[in-house]
Amino acid sequence: MTTGPQENLSPVDREALERCMEIAQRDPERAEQLQSMLGLGWPWNLVADMACHCCQARTLSLRPWQCSPSSVDENDPDERDKDAQRLLRRMLAVGLSRFDPDPLQALRGRRSRKDET
């Protein structure tokens, strides 16, 4: 797991960001980029947030103009990407982190566990 300054993060968010860093770094070029940013002194939270956006953009097949759920405000009435905002609200409603690397898979997993109980 990646370690670094992670203050002000809930355990759920910290774990999701650590998974994003791990997943994003499976690509050697992305790993080099992220490690370079850390080496230049970028805060871990910022680098992990970028890794999260990369993971969510890939798993959600986002277009360049679309936002990832991790980058929107769930309560902003002027949020430009309403789809990302709706997805984030669904995620938060079931206790998922906004930083989950694969939001739709995580939501399916929550639904499956709920159906089993």
Q: What is the pLDDT of residues 9-53, one digit of tens each?
A: 999 999 999 999 999 999 999 999 999 999 999 999 999 999 999
pLDDT in tens, 47-90: 999 999 999 999 999 999 999 999 999 999 999 999 999 999 99
Based on its alpha-carbon atoms, the radius of gyration of the chain, rounded to whole angstroms, reads 15
CB burial of residue 12 (10 Å; 0-12, 13-18, 19+):
middle
25: Cβ contacts below 8 Å, ≥ 6 apart: 31, 34, 35, 51
Domain ranges of the chain: 11-116
* pTM of the predicted structure, to 2 decimals: 0.86
